[in-house]
Amino acid sequence: MKFNWSGLKRYEGLSENENNAYRGFNFLLFIGLLDLIVVGGALSTIQPRWPFYVCLSEFVAFLILIVIHTKGYFKTSRYIFFLLTTGIQVMASVIHGKSGGFDYLLFVICVLPMMFFESKRYYLSLFIFSMGSYLCVQYLLFTIPPIIVIESQFPLYWNTFVTGFGLLIILYVFKRSYQKSQESLKRQNEEVKHQKEEIESINNNLEKLIVQRTNKVLEHEKLFTEYANINAHRVRSPLARILGLLNLIELEQDKEKILKEFLPLLHSNAEELNAILDEVSRSLNAVNQAGEQHKSY
């Protein structure tokens, strides 16, 4: 994967939601570094000094996590971050007691993983770990005195502010995500409704077209039948005359004489019959071609 030093830019190869989680976690690490700078400044003024060095070690660990995260080890860096942050807050709460307000941050830590993990096993395990740690801290605060009391009220106010601000950001993100999902569902419903209307319009047009074509076919068949009946009568007329003349010729004794008399009549009726048959043939071809054109549409 391509290394990306800028944690607020898009990461190549990730979807839109994954990129939002990627940039959001990097931003969370930057906020964590800022928080450590503020808290470390307060711890540097108290004795003994080792809590300050613990805070400094956490600062270095966050820098390493930023590098690991931007290299593409998303789940590993995120899981380590929440485990490390929970452990540090537990230790700080036990050392400084209620005077530092470090136990408040566990509320934010137990909810934040849902924003950065899709798998339930990750954020549920972190939630259980954080809430269990908070309950253990509360029990220890009631049973043992703090090791180092911070006389300044600033860490308490600062951690309270960070907790409230973090919860506000989480609520905003979830609300925004809900609004986006609702807007997406609304757009999809509108698209489905529009497609349904188009399909209904197409079905109505097809139904009308089928009715029209059916009526045309029925009309075509009716005309074809009527035309066939009419032409059948037209054909029978000259044909009957020809047959009648032939019967008369058969009845006469002097066939040669009567044949000379009837030959012009036979010839004229034969020509009439031939003309009628030609006309019928042309008409049937025209009707068949018209029917084929209707079927092709």
- Look up the pTM and report it: 0.55
Is the pLDDT assigned to residue 229 strictly greater than 50?
yes
CATH topology of domain 207-296: Helix Hairpins (1.10.287)
Position 151 scores a pLDDT of: 65
Residue owning tokens 């006469």: 252
Of the candidates 29, 37, 139, 26, the one whose C-alpha atom is nearest the C-alpha of residue 93 is: 139
Higher pLDDT, 72 or 159: 72
Is the pLDDT assigned to residue 1 strictly greater than 50?
no
Residue 64 banded pLDDT, cuts 50, 70, 90: very high
Whole-angstrom Cα Rg for the chain: 49
Position 60 scores a pLDDT of: 92
- The mean per-residue pLDDT over the stretch 180-203 comes to 85
Per-residue pLDDT tens for 236-252? Answer: 777 777 777 777 777 77
> So where are the chain's domains?
16-152, 207-296
Position 3 scores a pLDDT of: 43
Position 72 scores a pLDDT of: 86
Per-residue pLDDT tens for 81-112? Answer: 889 888 888 888 888 777 667 777 777 788 88
Position 4 scores a pLDDT of: 47
DSSP string over the chain? ----S-TTSPPTT--HHHHHHHHHHHHHHHHHHHHHHHHHHHHTTSSSSHHHHHHHHHHHHHHHHHHHHHTT-HHHHHHHHHHHHHHHHHHHHHHHGGGT-GGGHHHHHHHGGGGT--SHHHHHHHHHHHHHHHHHHHHHHHHS--SS----SHHHHHHHHHHHHHHHHHHHHHHHHHHHHHHHHHHHHHHHHHHHHHHHHHHHHHHHHHHHHHHHHHHHHHHHHHHHHHHHHHHHHHHHHHHHHHHHHHH-S-HHHHHHHHHHHHHHHHHHHHHHHHHHHHHHHHHHHHHHHHHH-
| Distance of alpha carbon 291 from alpha carbon 238, whole angstroms | 30
Looking at the chain, the whole-number percentage of residues with pLDDT higher than 90 is 3
